[in-house]
Amino acid sequence: MVNVQPLPTSLLPSEERAHEADHPTSQVAIFGSDQPLKLDCGIDLSPFQIAYQTYGELNAERSNAILVLHALTGDQHVANTHPVTGKPGWWQTMVGPGRPLDTDRYFIICSNVIGGCMGSTGPASTNPATGKLWGLDFPVITIPDMVRAQAMLIDRLGIGTLFSVVGGSMGGMQALQWTSAYPERVFSAMPVACATRHSAQNIAFHELGRQAVMADPEWHHGRYFEQGGFPHRGLGVARMAAHITYLSDAALHRKFGRRMQDRDLPTFSFDADFQVESYLRYQGSSFVERFDANSYLYLTRAMDYFDVAADHQGVLAEAFRGIKTRFCVVSFTSDWLFPTTESRAIVHALNASGARVSFAEIETDRGHDAFLLDVPEYVEISRAFLESAATARGLRGASD
Amino acid sequence: MSVEQTTLPLAGQPAPAARSYRSDHLVVAEMVEPGSKVLDVGCGEGDLLQLLESRGIDGRGIELSREGVNRCVARGLAVVQGDADTDLVNYPDDAFDYVILSQTLQATRQPRVVLENLLRIGRRAIVSFPNFGFWKLRLQLLVGGQMPRTENLPATWYDTPNIHFCTIKDFVQLCDEIDVKMERAVALDLYGRPLRLNAPWWFWNMFGEQGVFLLTRGNKAG
């Protein structure tokens, strides 16, 4: 029989997963029954909590706050060591002292989205009504729901107007939603590598990922935690497929080519002969250690439903009519998940509504993932955009 | 080409110190009323936009080259990557007080359509272009028998981005044809200095190295 090497099983006990969801290693804002979160599906979510991190200090005028919005599998740990993986924050190239999102100058906030699994209420959290984990009893949430929850957090922090909202991919969608829903509360916005709606191809990839999770017998219709298991293989496959969409043909070729993994000849088996296979397997298996399978279903669904124009009779420009927010839209040449055409559509709509918008397409072969990486031109543009916005906002420099 | 700020002082508008602007940019900037909203089509690295913003004008730009756009954004300017030939249609009517096309008309595929779009998007348009009727160019073609090249137009015929050269006379004729009114016209000599105002058109067409025009919609267009 041909040798087969499936994805390894998860080593993380389910109690440990549940712990971070309910009792995160973060600051937590709890919203009681007097402050329900009104969801698009018609349900009032209450009580609920938001886990968040902050960096830097809020100035006396409360005018220097930047809300960083994380992507699908990101979380609030933007610039500190991750409590589960022990790895550095996911955006340390961009956030920190002297970085474009300068923690010596700005007050940086990043919260885990509603539906996430790192401490904000989601399917991995305990449902207070039953004392059990929510699982599929958790209502389906949308990008506007996430943003509504964030606005409640910003209220709680006593901030009227954010100096900026910044995010890539799903984070960029949230940035666009912020400007569309609360234009007067956002001085500037930087949506990166995103779109105002999820394309058919992207919905298709998400469906592939969800079906992979749900096809895993250990998923148990979303109640795996009660069975003591976890659909690690399904979620791992979902991550592997998604990860391919975050890269590019050129980047994969440059990084791996057809090179073999610790061998010179093919083994004539289904072992990971190629480096690219080994890399993908690693991506799949490391992801399941830190992410909840149900959460993955909910967050991909939220992205699928996103369509800013649909909330404005199909006219995208109406979503931004009369907006005063300064925008910097960024896309990457090799990003085929959120290609430049999508960013251009945002720019056209913003132009049509008279908004002040900059748009840069950055040349890189690193695909969609480039928004998380140290791409010098992208870092410089982010810095310059925020600096010019800070001048317009009357913010003092870090050294002043 | 670069002439110091002092060669063309602008009344009541102190410019930032230690900075020299291109003379044609200063002529253009002088045509724009303070407090206006301006779109600069083909804004290059944003020199004109920065000059306008320094005078309190709300400036936006479109630039074809990615390097140019990224330079502009890095300078804090509101510039988007785009093509004058294809992207102007996406702007609504009357979106700007002025739309500027500086040294770009001759590089567009459809100059007439572009010009019509400029005056649809903006209440006024400011267009500057190199005058192919300039005596030096005429002389090169007449005597040398080769496509003319100058300091300001150094490209050879096979690698020039300028595919629709015209003379000042040609441009005036096009404006007539599509019912565009000229509010002001300035011809600049080789050093970017305005030629004397009372000169006849043929003189400008011969001695103007470039033309700068402030345009509005004609009567028929409303």
Percent of chain A at pLDDT above 70? 96
Asked if the Cβ–Cβ distance from B79 to A359 is below 8 Å, we say yes
Asked if the Cβ–Cβ distance from A352 to B60 is below 8 Å, we say no
Domain membership of residue B204 (yes or no) is yes
> Residue A326 corresponds to which tokens in the numbers above?
């300064």
What is the model's pLDDT at position B18?
40
B73 touches chain A (CB under 8 A): yes
* Domain assignment of residue B183, given as a range: 20-131+165-217
State mean pLDDT over A132-142: 97
Asked if the Cβ–Cβ distance from B69 to A361 is below 8 Å, we say yes
Q: Is pLDDT at A396 greater than 90 in this prediction?
A: no
Domain membership of residue B193 (yes or no) is yes
Q: Is pLDDT at A109 greater than 60 in this prediction?
A: yes
Cβ proximity of A122 and A115 under 8 Å: yes
State mean pLDDT over A130-154: 97
Identify the weakest region by mean pLDDT among A46-60, A104-118, B11-25, B63-77: B11-25
In angstroms, the CA A258 to CA A248 distance is: 15
**Among all chains, which residue has been given the structure tokens 């945002």?**
A346
The CATH number given to whatever domain includes residue B67 is: 3.40.50.150
Domain membership of residue B26 (yes or no) is yes
Which positions 130-159 of B are in contact with A (Cβ < 8 Å)?
none
Percent of chain A at pLDDT above 90? 88
State mean pLDDT over A345-361: 92
What is the model's pLDDT at position B70?
86
CA distance B221 to chain A (A): 22
Nearest to A192 by CA among A47, A308, A340, A322: A340
By C-alpha distance, the chain A residue nearest B79 is A358
Q: Which amino acid is at B31?
A: M
What is the model's pLDDT at position B75?
87
Size of interface A-B (CB pairs under 8 A): 63
Domain membership of residue B142 (yes or no) is no
Tens of pLDDT, residue by residue over B146-195, are 999 988 889 999 999 999 999 999 999 999 999 999 999 999 988 888 88
Q: How confident is the model at residue A400 (pLDDT cuts 50, 70, 90)?
A: low
B66 touches chain A (CB under 8 A): yes
Cβ proximity of A383 and A362 under 8 Å: no
Rg over alpha carbons for chain B, rounded to the nearest Å, is 17
Helical packing angle, A170-181 and A293-305, nearest 10°: 50
> Residue A44 corresponds to which tokens in the numbers above?
């009032």
What are the CA-CA distances from residue A363 to residues A332, A373, A377, B66 (Å)? 6, 13, 9, 8
Cβ proximity of A188 and A164 under 8 Å: yes
What is the model's pLDDT at position B107?
93
The domains of chain A, with CATH numbers, are 14-393 (3.40.50.1820)
What is the model's pLDDT at position B11?
36
Number of domains in chain B: 1
Beta-strand ranges (E) seen in chain A are 27-31, 37-38, 44-45, 48-55, 65-69, 95-96, 101-102, 107-111, 126-127, 132-133, 162-168, 186-192, 326-332, 356-362
DSSP H or E stretch at residue B140: none
Q: Which amino acid is at A257?
A: G
- Most A CBs within 10 A among B73, B77, B117, hence the mutation to make, goes to B73
- Angle at A129 (CA atoms; ends A128, A135), nearest 5 degrees: 75
Domain membership of residue B159 (yes or no) is no
What is the model's pLDDT at position A228?
87
Ranges of chain B with pLDDT below 50:
1-18, 221-222
State mean pLDDT over A306-331: 93
Q: Nearest CB to A385: which of B60, B69, B76?
A: B76
A341 touches chain B (CB under 8 A): no
| Exposure of B162 in the CB half-sphere (CA atoms within 13 A) | 20
Q: Nearest CB to B79: which of A326, A348, A358?
A: A358
Domain membership of residue B5 (yes or no) is no
Identify the weakest region by mean pLDDT among A275-279, A282-286, B16-20, B68-72: B16-20
Q: Which residues is A38 bridged to in the sheet?
A: A44
Domain membership of residue B10 (yes or no) is no
ipTM of the complex: 0.79
Q: Is pLDDT at A1 greater than 80 in this prediction?
A: no
Nearest to A323 by CA among A195, A186, A197: A186
Asked if the Cβ–Cβ distance from B80 to A351 is below 8 Å, we say yes
What are the CA-CA distances from residue A278 to residues A11, A89, A90, A271, A275 (Å)? 19, 24, 22, 9, 5
Task: Mention every residue, 6+ apart, whose C-beta is less than 8 A from residue A286.
Answer: A85
Q: Is pLDDT at A235 greater than 60 in this prediction?
A: yes
Domain membership of residue B120 (yes or no) is yes
DSSP H or E stretch at residue A147: helix A143-156
> In chain A, what residues touch B69 (CB-CB under 8 Å)?
359-361
Q: Is pLDDT at A344 greater than 80 in this prediction?
A: yes
List active site positions of A.
Answer: 169, 335, 368
What is the model's pLDDT at position A13?
63
